[in-house]
Amino acid sequence: MMHPDMESFQIFCERKPADRTYDWLDGDICACGQFAKRVGVPNWQDQSAEPHSFWDTINELARQTPHDFGTLAWRVARYRERFPPKGNSYVDPEPFAAELAL
């Protein structure tokens, strides 16, 4: 199992067809669920309950519409530019949704 981070999530999203959509409401096939399976993390939703955790943050980025991998990769890239990594703590992207929107 690899240690997931924003860079690996961005790469995962960029490698998907840009117009491929995901169902954000289904934790098994949403973008986060697909990424969790790829990196070998079971029960990612349990970890997303912790505010400002990695999983909480990527879930919030994935929640924003539209729900396609091209747009999500763009949002993750903008988030990474705006908020460089600081250990295991992440800035809640929700207050910055307008900045991260297309």
Q: Is 38 among the domain residues? A: yes
Task: Give the phi and the psi of residue 21 in degrees, each rounded to 5.
Answer: -100, 165
pLDDT tens digits along 54-86: 899 999 999 999 999 999 999 999 999 998 877
Residue 31 and residue 72 in contact, taking contact as beta carbons nearer than 8 Å: yes
Q: Is 95 among the domain residues? A: yes
Q: Is 1 among the domain residues? A: no
Query: What domain range is 89 assigned to?
Result: 6-100
How many structural domains compose the chain? Answer: 1
Dihedral (CA of 16, 23, 32, 98) sign: positive
- Residue 57's nearest CA partner among 92, 26, 33 is 92
pLDDT bracket for residue 37 (50, 70, 90): very high
